[in-house]
Amino acid sequence: MKDQAPKLPDRVAVVVVGGGIIGVSAAYFLAKRGVPVLLLEKGRLAGEQSSRNWGFVRQQGRDPAELPTIIESLRIWRGLEAEIGESVGFKQAGVLYLAESEETEHRFATWLDLARQYQLDTRMLSAEEARAALPETTGRWRSALTTPSDARAEPSMAVPALARAARRLGADIREGCAVRGLDLAGGQVAGVLTEAGRVACDTVLVAAGAWSGVFCARHGIPLPQLKVRGSVFRTGPAPLITDRAVWSMEVAFRRRADGGYTVAHGGVTDHPVTPATFRYMRRFWPSFRAERKRLQIRLDRRFWDELTMPRRWAMDRESPFESVRTLDPAPNGKVLAQARANLVRLFPQLKDITIAEQWAGMIDVTPDAVPVIGPVAQRPGLYVATGFSGHGFGIGPGAGKLAADLASGSPTTVDPSPFRLERFA
């Protein structure tokens, strides 16, 4: 692909590394400000997490550090289709979380207090109200938490549409071009070194998802990041149960624009053990403990793949980013079979659903499950926006705008301090 692509520019103001929802949103907002921006994606736009996610656009259940940014993000989502003149499958139909245990119910009640502080429309539903929201269900829940102003969007549509809009505003967006690393002069960013040559710039924004830790480590910047694997399937067209995006420990699902559902297990994700697991064990221990019921720890070939992945490489040689153009893990078939069985048991109307496609995505997580957005103090000119810990799709436009504001030295709409990298120092 790179052989036919036009030559890269010699110089731009900002280079964005990574074409997921974060990088593309940042490029869009930079271009909107008139900042010359080049986005480089090693594979294809949204080829990794940003097209593989559930599509929940939710405020509900978030860490307080993220609330101002997700509120801003929802504001952007609401106006996005009108602004860019294309559909992103956005629908503000609410989310519904179902409590099967006292412990979950307690967590919901605690979050409701937080929602009130931010004047969100979140409500607790009784067992009867929860059942009434899900006609014909055989499920019995203690209660539910719902936020009607939450929404959903189509991951497969959102990033390509936003990228087209960014291009119309002048952003230069390339696929099939990996950034191997930074070109530094006196410790400061002077450009990027890519597989297609050097591009000079004063500012680089790393929005490389699950690869951000590898990228930063190459330049001696510690960014604690681990990966978990989420498996998902989509159905063919099926009867409508609810327009809300639904989560329970047994199954999570949301209605798709094509009349089917995107479905996953609500209570299981896999953590493939890698050398980074041991490197960051102490930092991640509290989240391992908190998530122990939902996390399946696995030892598979990823350990070997990452053990043999170079941590340092010469900039004129192939980098790890070129060896894996698109991170495409195999889905966990057992977990998906359980999710399907749970869905059909809870909603007999769906007994005839067919699985049209199944896939998995590698989710990049930080120790506190809050992203890192901001400058890297020890490398002037370098910014990161990464570590969205399984909930970066909904917050993507807001977080991308925040990253764009920071990288262009513009005033920010929200306080960026909860996201600074130095909190892990």
Using the rule CB under 6 A, give the single segment among 140-148, 201-209, 233-241, 402-410 that binds ligand FAD.
201-209
* Residue list 210-239, contact with ligand FAD (CB under 6 A): 210-211, 215, 230, 232
Give the shortest CB-191-to-ligand FAD separation in angstroms: 14
18 binds ligand FAD (CB under 6 A): yes
Nearest to ligand FAD of 155, 375 (CB atom): 155
17 binds ligand FAD (CB under 6 A): yes
Give the shortest CB-254-to-ligand FAD separation in angstroms: 8
90 binds ligand FAD (CB under 6 A): no
Nearest to ligand FAD of 142, 359 (CB atom): 359
Binding-site size for ligand FAD (CB under 6 A) equals 40
- State the amino acid at position 75 in one-letter form: R
Nearest to ligand FAD of 26, 131 (CB atom): 26
Q: Which residues pair with 184 in a beta bridge?
A: 189
Return the residue of 174, 255, 271, 391 that touches ligand FAD, per CB under 6 A: 391
List the one residue out of 67, 93, 68, 66 whose CA is nearest residue 78. Answer: 93
DSSP 294: T
Nearest to ligand FAD of 277, 386 (CB atom): 386
Nearest to ligand FAD of 182, 350 (CB atom): 182
Return the residue of 60, 386, 403, 421 that touches ligand FAD, per CB under 6 A: 386
Return the residue of 169, 337, 390, 413 that touches ligand FAD, per CB under 6 A: 390
- Whole-angstrom CA distances from 257 to 57, 61, 319 are 15, 24, 38
21 binds ligand FAD (CB under 6 A): yes
Taking the C-alpha atoms of residue 75 and residue 372, their distance in angstroms, rounded to an integer, is 21
20 binds ligand FAD (CB under 6 A): yes
Nearest to ligand FAD of 118, 359 (CB atom): 359
Element (H, E) at 24: helix 21-32
Taking the C-alpha atoms of residue 206 and residue 416, their distance in angstroms, rounded to an integer, is 16
* Residue list 36-65, contact with ligand FAD (CB under 6 A): 40-43, 47-50, 52-56
Find the Cα–Cα–Cα–Cα dihedral 314, 303, 362, 267, rounded to 10°. -160
Q: Work out the burial of residue 147: count CB atoms within 10 Å of its CB; fewer than 13 is exposed, 13-18 middle, 19 or more buried.
A: buried
Taking the C-alpha atoms of residue 141 and residue 276, their distance in angstroms, rounded to an integer, is 38
Nearest to ligand FAD of 46, 238 (CB atom): 46
List the x/- string, 178-197, binding to ligand FAD by CB under 6 A.
xx------------------
**Straight-line distance from the first to the last Cα atom of the chain, in angstroms, rounded to the nearest whole number:** 40
SS3 330: coil
What DSSP assignment string belongs to 353-389? --EEEEEEEEEEE-TTS--EEEE-TTSTTEEEEE--T
What DSSP assignment string belongs to 134-198? STT-----SEEEEETT-EE--HHHHHHHHHHHHHHTT-EEESS--EEEEEEETTEEEEEEETTEE
* Residue list 307-326, contact with ligand FAD (CB under 6 A): 321
19 binds ligand FAD (CB under 6 A): yes
Nearest to ligand FAD of 131, 270 (CB atom): 270
Return the residue of 77, 111, 393, 419 that touches ligand FAD, per CB under 6 A: 393
Q: Work out the burial of residue 313: count CB atoms within 10 Å of its CB; fewer than 13 is exposed, 13-18 middle, 19 or more buried.
A: middle
260 binds ligand FAD (CB under 6 A): no
Give the shortest CB-17-to-ligand FAD separation in angstroms: 5
363 binds ligand FAD (CB under 6 A): yes
SS3 297: strand
Who contacts 258 (Cβ-Cβ below 8 Å, separation ≥6)? 237
Using the rule CB under 6 A, give the single segment among 28-36, 98-106, 282-290, 386-394 that binds ligand FAD.
386-394
List the one residue out of 145, 64, 65 whose CA is nearest residue 112. Answer: 145
Taking the C-alpha atoms of residue 359 and residue 230, their distance in angstroms, rounded to an integer, is 9
Give the shortest CB-202-to-ligand FAD separation in angstroms: 19
Using CB under 6 A, list all residues that contact ligand FAD.
17-23, 40-43, 47-50, 52-56, 178-179, 207-211, 215, 230, 232, 321, 361, 363, 386, 388, 390-394
